[in-house]
Structures are given as structure tokens and as C-alpha cells.
Amino acid sequence: MAIEELMSGGKLMRVTRWGEDVMHRETAPVTEFDDELRELVRDMFATMRAARGVGLAATQVGRGISLFIYECPDADEKVHYGAICNPVVTTPTGKDRSLDKSEEGCLSFPGGYQPLARPDTATCTGQDPWGNEVTITGDGTLARCLQHETDHLNGIVFGDRLSSRSYRLLEQQKNDLAHLYPDDWPVTPKKVTADD
């Protein structure tokens, strides 16, 4: 079976919000690469797409396991996709390290975006949903996604990496739009506005 077979047919799940305990705890390693795990991957793809995201960590659907999915463009706009269990991210160091300060958002903090400097390339290693070793190297948005989702699995939300001023702005943006996002979003869709 290929990952493409897990990218359709899933059911929508509620996206967990910042402040809920699972979002701020380190996750447990995935040790069972079974049908239950693959069904979760399928449901996560359905949920991520409904929420119009490019990545989703298991913590964002209330599961405290080390797993994330992605369907995300690189710097050349080529879309990459997959599911990685037990990810470890490495980024360049020293003279090879270059930072990209771009806007970042999070499905678990809907409506808020703030610039955050992250390394512009990243390599992620782990296992696929069948337990096979995988490695992906990305640049552009993909590099940001690999770092962002792995942070989630370590109990870190991107707001933890912002200055207190930027975090306040992020929170204000989210609060201004909170009325558009039902508590069980995206199971219940975002409310449509004239801007949509």
C-alpha cells in the first residue's frame, strides 16, 4: 500500500486548540504500525484538507503520539506529501544556516499569523505508517512545515517562539476571528464572510 491510498476516504475530526493539554506535552513514540494508525492518518488528511492546512500533527486531533502529515509546497511550488512517525528534524548550522522570516499560522490557533524566522531548509527523518524508514528534505514552506509539525510533537506551538509583542498581535488576530470557527471546526465548517 502507498501513502496515496491513505489520502482519501477519512472522516473529519475536531482540530484541537492551543491551551488544551495535549498541545503542550511531548508525545509518545509510535511503536505499533497497524491499521488503527493508518486509519488515523486517513482521518488526519481529511481533516487537514477541510481546514485548508498544509500540515497536521496528531496532537492537533487530540492524539498524544509522534505523528504528523503534510501536503505542502516547497520553494519551487512543487507539492510534497506524506506521513511521518517519530520525526527528527535537522537544520543547517554555521555558515550553511540561512533564516527565512515569513508569516506562520496554525490550524490550532485559527486566524492568527505572525512572521517567524526559521531555517530555510530542513531534513526530517522517521518512519512511514508501515514502519519503513523515510527521509525528506525541504525548502520554502515545506521546510517551515517540517519544523512546525515536529515542534507540535515536542509540545511546542509556534507562539512559544514569538516575542511577547508578536504573540499579543497573534492572539488579537485569533480573537477577532474566533466567531468564525465553531468549537468542533472543521467538522462544522468555518462561517463564510463577505471576504471569502
Number of domains present in the structure of the chain:
1
pLDDT grade for 196, boundaries at 50, 70 and 90:
low
Active site residues: 149
Residue 127 in any domain: the answer is: yes
Q: Can you tell me the distance from the alpha carbon of 48 to that of 70, in angstroms, rounded to the nearest whole number?
A: 8
Residue 190 in any domain: the answer is: no
pTM: 0.96
Residue 89 in any domain: the answer is: yes
Quote the pLDDT of residue 193: 74
Residue 41 in any domain: the answer is: yes
Find out whether 82 and 70 touch, Cβ atoms under 8 Å. yes
Residue 176 in any domain: the answer is: yes
Residue 45 in any domain: the answer is: yes
For residue 153, give its domain range: 3-180
Report the CATH number that the domain containing residue 94 is assigned in CATH.
3.90.45.10
Region 140-165 average pLDDT? 98
* CA angle at 65 for the pair 63 and 71, rounded to the nearest 5°: 85
Residue 191 in any domain: the answer is: no
Output the nine-digit C-alpha cell for 21.
493539554
Q: Can you tell me the distance from the alpha carbon of 46 to that of 5, in angstroms, rounded to the nearest whole number?
A: 12
Residue pLDDT, tens place only, 71-111: 999 999 999 999 999 999 999 999 999 999 999 999 999 99
- Dihedral-angle region of residue 100 (phi above 0 means left; psi in -120 to 50 means alpha; beta otherwise): beta
Residue 119 in any domain: the answer is: yes
